[in-house]
Structure 1
């Protein structure tokens, strides 16, 4: 098993409305800083982009009734990184949760840096999608 950490942000917007606003892959570059400097292009059943460390191929979970927004990032080195993401009800608003799995060979410093990056991205999502 891989070490895992989950971060969440509260968004003052009904969860289904929020999910409908953000589930499409083309919305991710608006808040996901690793994709914000690139054009996300559809390619077959996946999307391609220029990630921070080179080209990536991303498979996104399709639209669903459960708020699941998982994505699978193929960095081209043979490994695929699963990024679980959920939008769930939180009273009249929503909670957006994202889990980071520590990848083999990742140092403590890299894991903490990726977690901090993920937290900033979710805060950007909250600011963009409705605070």
Structure 2
């Protein structure tokens, strides 16, 4: 199984990036690969309609470390762990997302990498426009 890191520098404080990205209500605004409509909160789970079908998402608890790791349960039942960090950067913040090749062909993996990169670019645009 391959893993690759996708990152984006954002001209905002790490705290602002973390708070925006951690808010389930904001996911459909920037994370189209995960949620393409409103997210339903069910206890510690988020239920979202994604391009793959309905997924269940569990984020790590809110923290001061910039950790946005989350497990996504796919419609197939496979659970994918997604490590995500918001780091300090000389130009503001950098968000780093580790993409893992689970149940994906090489072409599908490249498509997922492109989707994550696009999601992070959208996050940058939204935050820098505020």
TM-score normalized by structure 1?
0.90
1:62 aligns with 2:61: yes
Instruction: Measure the CA separation in 1 of the matches of 2:20 and 2:46.
Output: 19
After superposition, where does 1:3-42 map in structure 2 within 5 Å? 3-42=2-41
> SS where residue 68 of structure 2 aligns?
coil
Aligned equivalent of 1:93: 92
Matched, 1:108 2:106: yes
Structure 1 residue ranges, 4+ long, deviating more than 2 angstroms after superposition: 34-37
Q: Could you tell me the TM-score, scaled by structure 2's length?
A: 0.91
Residue segments in structure 1 that go unaligned for 5+ positions in a row:
none
In 2 relative to 1, CA 76–125 (structure 1 residues): closer, same or farther, beyond 3 Å? same
Give, in angstroms, the shift of residue 76 of structure 1. 3.2
Instruction: Identify unmatched segments of 5+ residues in structure 2.
Output: none
CA RMSD of aligned residues (A): 1.5
Q: Any conservation in 2 of the 1:25–1:60 contact (CA below 8 Å)?
A: no
Q: In the alignment, what sits opposite 1:82?
A: 81
Separation in 1 of the partners of 2:115 and 2:21?
19
